[in-house]
Chains A and B, each alone.
Chain A
Amino acid sequence: MAAELKVYARSNLRSREGFFFTLIFPIILILLFGAIFSGGGVSQTTVYVQNHDSGPVSVMFLSALNSTSNNCSPNTSTGLCLKSVPASQNFSAYLSSQSASDGIVIPSGFSASFEAGQQVNVTLFGNPASTTSAIVSGITREVVNAFNLHGKPVLGVSSRTAVSSSYKYIDFLIPGLIGFAALTSPMFALVNISSTYRRDKVFKLLSLTPLTKTEWLLSKIIWYTCTTVISFILMSLVGVEAFGAHIALNWGIGIFLVIGPFFFVSLGMLVGTISNSPESAAVVGNLVTFPMMFLSGTFFPVASMPMYLQGVAHVLPLYYMIDGLNNVMIYQNYGPALFDGGLLVVLSVIVFALAVRFFRWRED
Chain B
Amino acid sequence: MPAIEVDGLEKSYGQLKAVDGISFSVQKGEVFSLLGPNGAGKTTTIEILEGLRQQDGGKASVLDYDPWTKGYDLHKRIGVIPQGFKFLDYPTPKEAIAYYGALFGKKVDPEEMLRRVILEDAANIWFQNLSGGQKQKLGMALSLVNDPEVVFLDEPTTGLDPQARRAVWEVIRKLKNEGRTVMLTTHYLEEAEELADRVAIMNHGKIVAMGKTEEIETKYGSGTKMIVKGKEDLLKFLKENTKLHAEGNDGTVTIYLRDKEDALVALGAIEESGADWGDLTVKRDSLEDVFLKLVGPEGKAEKEGE
A residues near B, CB below 8 A? 200-202, 204-205, 207-211, 362-364
Question: What chain A residues lie within 8 Å of B51 (beta carbons)?
Answer: 208, 362
Complex-state Cα separation, A207 to B51, whole angstroms = 9
Contacting A209 at CB < 8 Å: which of B50, B85, B100?
B100
Complex-state Cα separation, A204 to B72, whole angstroms = 13
Complex-state Cα separation, A363 to B18, whole angstroms = 15
B174 at interface (Cβ–Cβ under 8 A)? Answer: no
Question: What chain A residues lie within 8 Å of B80 (beta carbons)?
Answer: 205, 208
Whether the pair B53, A364 counts as a contact (CB closer than 8 A) is: yes
Question: What chain B residues lie within 8 Å of A208 (beta carbons)?
Answer: 50-52, 75, 78, 80
Whether the pair A207, B87 counts as a contact (CB closer than 8 A) is: no
B103 at interface (Cβ–Cβ under 8 A)? Answer: yes
Whether the pair A202, B86 counts as a contact (CB closer than 8 A) is: yes
Whether the pair A362, B103 counts as a contact (CB closer than 8 A) is: no
Complex-state Cα separation, A202 to B135, whole angstroms = 14
In the assembled complex, 10 residue pairs joining A and B whose CB atoms fall closer than 8 Å, in A order, are: A201-B82, A201-B84, A205-B87, A208-B50, A208-B78, A209-B75, A210-B75, A362-B51, A362-B71, A364-B54
Q: Known contacts A201-B84, A205-B82: does B52 contact A211 (CB below 8 Å)?
A: no
Complex-state Cα separation, A211 to B72, whole angstroms = 9
Whole-angstrom distance from the CB of B70 to the nearest CB of chain A? Answer: 13
Question: What chain B residues lie within 8 Å of A201 (beta carbons)?
Answer: 82, 84, 86
Whole-angstrom distance from the CB of B13 to the nearest CB of chain A? Answer: 11
Whether the pair B86, A211 counts as a contact (CB closer than 8 A) is: no
**How many B residues, CB 8 Å from partner?**
22
Is chain B's interface secondary structure helix, strand, loop, or mixed overall?
A: loop
B90 at interface (Cβ–Cβ under 8 A)? Answer: no
Contacting A202 at CB < 8 Å: which of B71, B78, B88, B103?
B88
Minimum CB distance partner of B44 in chain A: A363
Minimum CB distance partner of A197 in chain B: B88
Complex-state Cα separation, A201 to B47, whole angstroms = 12
Question: What chain B residues lie within 8 Å of A363 (beta carbons)?
Answer: 47, 52-53
Whether the pair B72, A210 counts as a contact (CB closer than 8 A) is: yes
Whether the pair B47, A209 counts as a contact (CB closer than 8 A) is: no
Complex-state Cα separation, A322 to B112, whole angstroms = 52
Question: What chain A residues lie within 8 Å of B82 (beta carbons)?
Answer: 201, 204-205
Question: What chain A residues lie within 8 Å of B104 (beta carbons)?
Answer: 209-210
Minimum CB distance partner of B152 in chain A: A208
Whole-angstrom distance from the CB of B19 to the nearest CB of chain A? Answer: 14
Whole-angstrom distance from the CB of B107 to the nearest CB of chain A? Answer: 15
Interface membership of chain B positions 81-117, coded 1 if the CB is closer than 8 angstroms to chain A and 0 otherwise? 0101111100000000000100111000000000000
> Shortest 3 CB-CB distances between A and B: which pairs?
A209-B103, A200-B86, A364-B54
Whether the pair A362, B53 counts as a contact (CB closer than 8 A) is: yes
Whole-angstrom distance from the CB of A197 to the nearest CB of chain B? Answer: 9
